[in-house]
Amino acid sequence: MAGGIKEPLSCDILFAGGGMAALSLLYRALKSGLWLDKSIIVIDNNEYKSKNWSFWKHTPGPFDEVICKSWSMLSFVSNEGKTKDLKIQDYGYHTIRSQDFYRHCLTFLADFNNIRFIHEQVLSVRPEKNNCLLETSTGIYRSVYLFNSIYRKPPLKPGSQYFLQHFKGLMIRSKEFTFDPARAYLMDFRTSQEHGTSFFYTLPFSEHEVFVEFTVFSKHLLEQEAYDRKLDVYIRQMLQVKEFEIIEEEFGVIPMTDHRFPRFQGNIINIGSAGGDTRGATGYTFTNVQKTVTRILDEWRKTGTPFFNRENIGLKEHLYDATLLQVLDGREYPGHQVFGDLFKGTPAPVVFSFLDAESSIFKDLLLIKSLRPMPFLKAMISVLSRKSK
């Protein structure tokens, strides 16, 4: 130290944030034999809160060993109460508990002496010519590459959409359940829609334990009592369960926006929601993070750098997401009707591949055909007009 100025602590790779995206990348890199000779520092001050991450898939994934429950059958329930059993073919729906994921990754990483975890708040990150700087309240860190997963709401351009997917979930236990443990309810719209697009999400974990979540797509959060009230009404009236025990509670907020997040800023690589890995139309993140991690690691093996070219959520998907958010904002075509028409008129595997950015233009057209054309056409014209300015 000279003149009271602290010298930056240097390493090869910095992580700003140590959540799901960061640990996915770090675990998979070291598991595959990469970065064994790199000095790595992870800086994060968040506690690892208990959450459920759910996703559909039809091929093996990198964290299949920590999946706690899978469902081979899915159903959709409309606002009018009509149930549609979805034919999902070779897809399955899966849930990973965040605590299992964190324990799995951190236990593995504890054996590596080249990794250091620091529990501090990240104040800022910035790129320099050939490296990166990260500042905390007590020090400055320098690295060649920095992976940033700390999400901050971006400054939005005029007309940009910024919805929130906010939800409260309860794991409840009761002997009154009549669920088939192999069937999950992906969306159940049997609730009023005054707060925005609102639905329940019901996952039976066993004969007597069910996870029930109330989810809203809107631009503002509700009072906590509103989530509790909706859940209580649904459990008692729709599920016909009078006596139950609450085992766990979960609350979360996920951004749904048409903002284009920068992936690379000099040698800073943004990952997770901070890098655009949250799908604007759905809020699903876990699968997109794993695809981004795969691209980073593939490029590192080829070039020794993390700078990949092709995004999983590309321009086409961004246009679709922006259009849907514009439709939801206009309320001419309510969200419960949009998703009802979508699953009524399109095979579920086509919907899943579309939402995973794996579909062809031909399949996209099949999906779009099931929806009311005029609201989407007007919304798309509005989006294209705004983005061309």
Encoded tokens for 40: 């790595």
DSSP label at residue 313: S
Residue pair 98/289 in contact by the 8 Å Cβ criterion: no
Residue pair 78/336 in contact by the 8 Å Cβ criterion: yes
pLDDT of amino acid 48:
81
Mean pLDDT over 202-224 rounds to 97
Question: What pTM does this model have?
Answer: 0.94
- Higher-scoring residue by pLDDT: 344, 46: 344
- The model's pLDDT over 58-76, given as tens digits with 9 standing for 90+, comes to 999 999 999 999 999 999 9
Residue pair 162/255 in contact by the 8 Å Cβ criterion: yes
- Higher-scoring residue by pLDDT: 3, 111: 111
The number of residues making up the chain comes to 389
pLDDT of amino acid 325:
97
Share of the chain above pLDDT 70, in %: 98
Look-up of token digits 């529990």: 119
Residue pair 98/53 in contact by the 8 Å Cβ criterion: yes
Question: Is residue 200 pLDDT above 50, yes or no?
Answer: yes
Q: What are phi and psi of 310, to 5 degrees?
A: -100, 125
Encoded tokens for 8: 């930056």
pLDDT of amino acid 4:
45
- The model's pLDDT over 126-160, given as tens digits with 9 standing for 90+, comes to 999 999 999 999 999 999 999 999 999 999 988 89
Mean pLDDT over 287-316 rounds to 96
Question: Is residue 2 pLDDT above 50, yes or no?
Answer: no
Mapping DSSP to helix (H, G, I), strand (E, B) and coil, where does residue 325 land?
Answer: helix
Distance CA 183, CA 376 (A): 32
46-50, 348-352, 375-379: the lowest-pLDDT one = 46-50
pLDDT of amino acid 318:
94
Distance CA 249, CA 226 (A): 15
The CATH homologous superfamily of the domain defined by 9-52+98-154+261-303: FAD/NAD(P)-binding domain (3.50.50.60)
pLDDT of amino acid 145:
98
* Mean pLDDT estimate for the chain: 95
pLDDT of amino acid 6:
67
Give residue 366's pLDDT band: very low, low, confident or very high (50, 70, 90). Answer: confident
pLDDT of amino acid 5:
52
Residue pair 202/54 in contact by the 8 Å Cβ criterion: no
DSSP label at residue 5: B
- Higher-scoring residue by pLDDT: 38, 8: 38
- Within the chain, strands assigned E span 9-16, 40-43, 52-57, 67-71, 73-77, 83-86, 92-97, 115-118, 122-127, 132-136, 140-148, 162-173, 183-188, 197-204, 209-218, 245-257, 264-265, 268-270
pLDDT of amino acid 47:
81
| Domain boundaries of the chain, sorted by first residue | 9-52+98-154+261-303, 162-256, 315-387
Look-up of token digits 């246009």: 319
- The model's pLDDT over 245-282, given as tens digits with 9 standing for 90+, comes to 999 999 999 999 999 999 999 999 999 999 999 999 89
Mean pLDDT over 324-339 rounds to 95
